[in-house]
Amino acid sequence: MALHRVWVYGDNVNTDVIFPGKYTYTLKTPEEIAVHALEDLDPAFAGGVRPGDVIVAGRNWGSGSSREQAVTALKYAGVPVIIAASFGGLYFRNCINQGIWPVVCPELRQWVQTGETIEIDRQTNQILAAGRAFAIPSLSPSVQAILDGGGLLPMLQRRFGKVTV
Partner 1 sequence: MSGYTFAEKALARAAGLTTARAGDILDIQPDLIFSHDNSAAIRRIFEQTGAPAVVRPERIAITLDHAVPAPTTQHAQNHAEIRRWVQEQGIRHFFEVGRGICHQVISEEALVLPGETILGADSHSTHYGWLGAFGMGIGRTEMAALWATGELWLRVPESMKITLNGKLQRSVTIKDASLRILGDLGVAGGQYRAVEFAGDALSTLTLDERPVLPNMMAEFGAMSAYLPPDQAVFDYLEPRRTRAYTPLYPDHDAIYAAEYTLDVSNLEPQIALPHQPDNVVPLSEVIGQPIQQAFLGTCTNGRFEDLQAAAEVLRGHRVRCRLVVIPASSQVYLRAAQSGVLAALVEAGAAVGTPGCGPCMGNHMGIPAPDEATISSANRNFRGRMGTPEAPVYLASPYVVAASAICGHLADPREFLSDRF
- Residues 6+ away with beta carbon under 8 Å from 116: 5, 6, 129, 130
| Closer residue to partner 1, CB minimum distance, 50 or 162 | 162
Among 6, 94, 129, 147, the residue binding partner 1 under the rule CB under 8 A is 94
79 binds partner 1 (CB under 8 A): no
Q: What span, in angstroms and rounded, lies between the C-alpha atoms of 114 and 57? A: 11
25 binds partner 1 (CB under 8 A): yes
| Closer residue to partner 1, CB minimum distance, 90 or 136 | 90
3-state secondary structure of 102: strand
What is the residue type of 111? W
Q: Restricting to residues 103-132, which ones interact with partner 1 according to CB under 8 A?
A: none
Intra-chain end-to-end CA distance of the chain, in Å: 26
Q: Kindly indicate which of the ranges 44-52, 119-127, 129-137, 150-158 contains the residues binding partner 1, using the contact rule CB under 8 A.
A: 150-158
Q: Kindly indicate which of the ranges 1-9, 22-30, 74-82, 114-122 contains the residues binding partner 1, using the contact rule CB under 8 A.
A: 22-30
Across the strands, what pairs with 2?
Answer: 120
| Closer residue to partner 1, CB minimum distance, 126 or 157 | 157
What is the residue type of 134? F
148 binds partner 1 (CB under 8 A): no
| Closer residue to partner 1, CB minimum distance, 52 or 89 | 89
63 binds partner 1 (CB under 8 A): yes
Residues in the chain: 165
Residue spans of beta strands (DSSP E) within the chain: 2-8, 54-57, 81-84, 101-104, 117-121, 126-129, 132-135
Q: What span, in angstroms and rounded, lies between the C-alpha atoms of 57 and 8? A: 6
Residues in the site for partner 1, rule: CB under 8 A?
A: 12, 14-17, 20-22, 24-26, 28, 39-40, 59-60, 63-68, 71, 86, 88-90, 92-94, 97-98, 140, 142-143, 146, 151-153, 156-157, 159-162
